[in-house]
Amino acid sequence: MTRIPSSARGALLPALLLAAATACSGGASPPDRAEPERPREALATLLVHAEGAFRDGNYPEAQSAYEEALGVAPDDPRIVPALGTCYLKNRLTRKAESLLTAHLAKRPDDLASRLVLARAYIRESELDRAAEALRAVLESDPDNLLAHYNLGFVDYRNRSYDEAVVHLKRAIELRPGQPEAHYTLGLTYLALGRTGAAVPELERAVAINPKHVGAHFNLVSAYVRAGRMKDAERERAIYTDLVRHSKSLDERTAQIKAQSVPAIQAMLDKRYPEALAEYQALAVKYPDYAPLYDKIGVLQLRLEHRAEALEALRKAVALDPDFGNPHYVLSNLYREAGDEEAADRELTIFAALETIPEGKSGY
């Protein structure tokens, strides 16, 4: 396999997607041409459209455009990992696996595709196959953050605790501010009976993310094992309050989803002004629910209302800083506006949140 440069290590797929469409300056399709496009021009047009749709959170449209692009350039390493990610976003896991497996048989050096395949395996609970794919990535890129964290997570789930410690500690060295790495390392130390090592890792996880239910839950038992009963009682109270809040949030989420059916149908029918109006009405009823503002921002982008989209997406991340998608879309809006510092900041936040794209460790 070809080793990728150190500057690219740990990069997430969305960053690769940005690089794949170098001519992209927006999500809109170019005007119709009087003459048929040559294959290379058609491919560039499709990639611009696909990246624009992905950037705006329109994953079905991005999938369709990447599928067309793949028809023009089969096994193109710019297209396959992007299309595989769209399949995962659209819950077509088996389709992603089939695409990526066939592609990697021809292009075994495509690390981006191998990382997406590992994600598919984790989603399918095929942990041994996921581990194999992640180890293959590390053979070529020893400091790949995604590979280290997810391999540590898989090793923990497979009860290969010593191996998990190695990969999780390396993931923390590469990105110290990722709470899930500290949390999973804490769980691993607990499984090894190393309470003294587990406590600071779990404490670090809740310091980074005070709402981390699993870390608070496991700190209770860790403190009890360490004889720190007052600390255990404090954590039990925090955990109980978080669970109560979580149940309330789940109930409200279910209510909002039930009331979102007209908006979802309008989006599917591409009646974007109607969908926007529905989501805006819901935001009036539920003003502190971040996903509504994310939807509003995406719809404003589809309607070419950049300033309104920016306002909605900023609201989404203000309400829920751990909500990944708006950070990614914001990074692109800032870059379009020439604010590279803000764009890089938002992409860094997104990268930290998406280190484990297939979910968090259980407790």
Residue pLDDT, tens place only, 167-186: 999 999 998 888 899 999 99
Residue scoring higher pLDDT (143 or 357): 143
The pLDDT, as a whole number, for residue 356 is 54
Residue 229 CA from chain centroid, whole number? 37
Cα separation, 21 vs 29, whole angstroms = 13
Q: How far is CA 318 from CA 287, 311, 314, 324, 327, in A?
A: 12, 11, 6, 12, 10
pLDDT at 35: 43
Q: Is the pLDDT of residue 154 over 50?
A: yes
User: Residues 5-33: pLDDT tens digits?
Assistant: 333 333 334 333 333 332 232 333 344 44
pLDDT at 363: 45
Q: Of all residues in the chain, what percent carry a pLDDT higher than 70?
A: 85
Kindly state the percentage of the chain with pLDDT values over 90.
Answer: 60
Task: Report d(CA 159, CA 288) in Å as an integer.
Answer: 40
45 phi, psi to nearest 5 deg: -60, -45
pLDDT at 120 over 90: yes
Please name each of the domains of the chain with its CATH number: 12-24+40-142 (1.25.40.10), 145-247 (1.25.40.10), 260-353 (1.25.40.10)
CA–CA distances in Å: residue 216 to residues 43, 147, 199, 238, 248: 50, 26, 11, 7, 18
Which has the closest alpha carbon to 219: 256, 187, 267? 187
Greater model confidence, 118 or 320: 118
Least confident interval from 22-31, 102-111, 184-193, 304-313: 22-31
**249-262 pLDDT tens trace:** 778 888 998 999 99
pLDDT tens per residue across span 36-74: 445 667 888 898 888 878 876 788 999 999 999 999 998
pLDDT of residue 4: 35
State how far Cα 326 lies from the chain centre: 11
pLDDT at 335: 85
User: What mean pLDDT is predicted for residues 314-343?
Assistant: 88
Whether the pLDDT of residue 234 is over 80: the answer is: yes
pTM recorded for the entire structure = 0.72
Answer yes or no: are the C-beta atoms of 175 and 10 closer than 8 Å.
yes
* pLDDT beyond 70 at 3: no
pLDDT greater than 80 at residue 88: yes
Q: Alpha-carbon distance 27 to 214, whole Å?
A: 39
Our CA angle for 125, 155, 184, nearest 5°, is 95
pLDDT confidence of residue 38: 59
The better pLDDT of the pair 301, 358 is held by 301
pLDDT for the residue 31: 40
For residues 231 and 227, give the distance between their C-alpha atoms in angstroms, rounded to a whole number. 9
pLDDT digits (tens, 9 = 90+) for 269-290: 889 999 999 999 999 999 999 9
Q: Name the residue among 331, 348, 344 with its Cα closest to residue 57.
A: 331
